[in-house]
């Protein structure tokens, strides 16, 4: 008589990847050990490599998930009708991400672009290239806004776009450094009050 076997344990790769994203977000690439990742993901080393590849490939997939689920508001901001509404959508979206208690503070991208260990150069380059891609899109959008007359011609469109990027990056760094929600809201309202034009 055959021996009845229990059903194999179900493995949800989406849940495991979300857990890995959280580890990378909190600890950075260098600080996220394989042991910590395996514990958070609830899988074995063999499952990690067969499903996601090595640590670097896992990070790539986690970063893609982060951009898709956590920073979609950034691309939505580029679709707003005026330069000011682009800035407002971007800053308010960043604020919402940082005040959601379900998320770690700071930026997963910034953590890896400014902090890395020897041997992690490919990871840093991967993150840097994604940041440059976003930077170019933001500059192009604000340049178009300048041609549309959204702000006085005396303002340099690229400088304005980079000031906005610096403000959002600064907001993320401030949140990661322990700034309160009230302080973060103050940064947003002050920056928007200084924004030129519509």
Q: How far apart are CA 187 and CA 180, in angstroms?
A: 11
Which one, of 98, 124, 94, lies nearest residue 109 by Cα? Answer: 124
Most distant pair of Cα atoms in the chain: their distance: 87
Which CATH architecture is the domain 11-65 placed in?
Answer: Orthogonal Bundle (1.10)
Alpha-carbon gap, residue 157 to 197, rounded angstroms = 12
State pTM to two decimals. 0.85
Which of 181, 183, 151, 182 has its CA nearest to residue 164?
A: 151
Encode pLDDT of 145-162 as tens digits. 999 999 999 999 999 999
Q: How many CB atoms lie within 10 A of CB 156?
A: 13
Name the residue ranges covered by the structural domains of the chain: 11-65, 70-198
**Tens of pLDDT, residues 28-72:** 888 899 999 999 999 999 999 999 999 999 999 999 999 999 999
The CATH number, out of the four listed (1.10.3720.10, 3.10.20.440, 3.30.9.10, 1.10.357.10), of the domain defined by the range 70-198: 1.10.357.10
């Amino acid at each position: 008589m055959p021996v009845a076997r229990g059903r194999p344990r179900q493995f949800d790769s989406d849940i495991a990847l979300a857990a890995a994203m959280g580890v990378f977000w909190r600890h950075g690439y260098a600080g996220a050990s394989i042991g910590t990742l395996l514990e958070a993901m609830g899988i074995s080393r063999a499952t990690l490599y067969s499903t996601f590849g090595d640590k670097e490939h896992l990070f790539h997939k986690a970063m893609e998930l982060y951009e898709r689920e956590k920073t979609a508001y950034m691309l939505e901001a580029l679709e707003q009708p005026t330069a000011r509404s682009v800035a407002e959508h971007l800053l308010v979206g960043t604020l919402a991400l940082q005040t959601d208690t379900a998320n770690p503070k700071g930026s997963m991208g910034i953590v890896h672009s400014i902090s890395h260990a020897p041997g992690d150069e490919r990871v840093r380059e991967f993150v840097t290239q994604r940041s440059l891609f976003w930077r170019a899109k933001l500059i192009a959008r604000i340049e178009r806004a300048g041609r549309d007359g959204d702000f006085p011609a005396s303002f340099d469109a690229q400088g304005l776009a980079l000031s906005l990027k610096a403000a959002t990056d600064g907001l993320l760094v401030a949140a990661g450094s322990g700034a309160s929600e009230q302080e973060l809201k103050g940064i947003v309202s002050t920056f928007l009050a200084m924004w030129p034009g519509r």
